[in-house]
Structure formats: C-alpha cells, structure tokens
Amino acid sequence: RRNIDPIVVDIETVLERPVSQTILANSISLTPGTLSVDLDSENNIIKVAAISPREKEDIIPFEPYIKKMLE
C-alpha cells in the first residue's frame, strides 16, 4: 500500500491559447493519480488534485509537446 496524501495545487502553464490549455488539462486528468479540477485561461493556471505530492514536471510532462504543436 502507498501512503495517500491528497493535495490540490495551482500549476502555472506557459500555454497561451485556451485550446492548448484544455488539451493540457485533459492530459493531466488521463494521468493516474491526478485530476484537473479548474482551468483559469486568463491567468494560465490549472488547479490539479493529486493523491500524493508531485513535482510540476511530473504533473504536466506534455506541456512542451503541446506548445510545439499548437502555440
């Protein structure tokens, strides 16, 4: 069994376009143990719930690829 220490964090993204931010938020929700709770497109912030603390790079590993394709 793993220790569960749920957290909710605000993740800042470099993505500017709402469609890019939405794709990133969806990719976060597809990652086991994480869920996108809210997207603030104006401030480029995604609120993420995770079952245990993680580094930002572990939560949004696809950000550079989305930026390269859509920004």
What are the residue ranges spanned by the domains of the chain?
1-54
Give the separation between CA 25 and CA 37, rounded to whole angstroms: 9
Integer-rounded Cα Rg, in Å, for the chain is: 12
Which pLDDT value is given to residue 50?
93
Over the stretch 9-34, which tens digit does the pLDDT of each residue have? 999 999 999 999 999 999 999 988 89
Over the stretch 59-71, which tens digit does the pLDDT of each residue have? 899 999 999 999 8
Model's pTM, two decimal places? 0.87
Which pLDDT value is given to residue 71?
87
Which residues make Cβ contacts (< 8 Å) with residue 27, sequence separation at least 6? Answer: 60, 62, 66
Give the separation between CA 5 and CA 37, rounded to whole angstroms: 17
